[in-house]
Each structure stands twice: as structure tokens, then as C-alpha cells.
């Protein structure tokens, strides 16, 4: 005969952890989106000035620049 109560306790113990992780991931994505949108104008300006100076559009575009800045800034907020 097996003990079914131990399986039930583990299943209920895992549920809050999964919910917490999903909430943290959602919160991270919200912050990431806000930071991405906030850095997009400055990244566009920086990209345009760089393109004018070098007379070349081969560098990363404004979307890639804003994305990389958001990837750097957002984890800093969550690690603090």
C-alpha cells in the first residue's frame, strides 16, 4: 500500500513556487518592456548620429541598441 499523503503535500508545496516564478517572470517582462520603450528614442538618436558620422548603416540598428540596453539595465534592477 502506498502513502498518498506525501505526494499531495509535495504537489501543494510546489504550487506557490510555480506561481511566484510566473509572477516574477511577468514582472521582469513588464519592466523590460518599459525600459525598452524608454531607451528607444535615445538609441535611435545615437544610431542616427553614428550613421551620419560614419556614413554607413552597417552598425546595429536602433531596435538592437535599445534591446541590448534593456537587457543590461533590467537585471540590475532585479538584483538590487
Residue closest to 75 by CA, chosen among 37, 35, 45:
35
Q: Is the pLDDT of residue 6 over 60?
A: no
Q: What is the pLDDT of residues 15-74, one digit of tens each?
A: 577 777 788 889 999 999 999 999 999 999 999 999 899 888 777 889 999 999 999 999
For residue 50, is it within any domain?
Answer: yes
Residue 80 is predicted with a pLDDT of: 73
Residue 34 is predicted with a pLDDT of: 96
Question: Where are the alpha helices (H) located in 1-61, listed in sequence order?
Answer: 4-54
Higher per-residue confidence, 9 vs 35: 35
How far is residue 32 CA from its own chain's centroid? 4
For residue 42, is it within any domain?
Answer: yes
For residue 14, is it within any domain?
Answer: no
For residue 73, is it within any domain?
Answer: yes
How many CA atoms lie less than 13 Å away from 77 in the CB half-sphere? Answer: 15
For residue 51, is it within any domain?
Answer: yes
For residue 12, is it within any domain?
Answer: no
The boundaries of the domain holding residue 49 are 23-79
Number of domains in the chain: 1
For residue 60, is it within any domain?
Answer: yes
Amino acid at each position: 500500500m502506498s502513502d498518498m499523503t506525501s505526494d499531495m503535500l509535495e504537489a501543494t508545496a510546489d504550487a506557490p513556487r510555480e506561481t511566484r516564478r510566473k509572477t516574477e517572470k511577468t514582472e521582469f517582462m513588464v519592466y523590460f518592456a518599459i525600459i525598452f520603450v524608454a531607451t528607444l528614442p535615445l538609441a535611435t538618436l545615437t544610431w542616427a548620429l553614428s550613421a551620419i558620422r560614419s556614413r554607413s548603416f552597417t552598425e546595429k540598428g536602433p531596435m538592437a541598441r535599445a534591446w541590448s540596453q534593456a537587457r543590461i539595465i533590467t537585471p540590475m534592477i532585479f538584483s538590487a
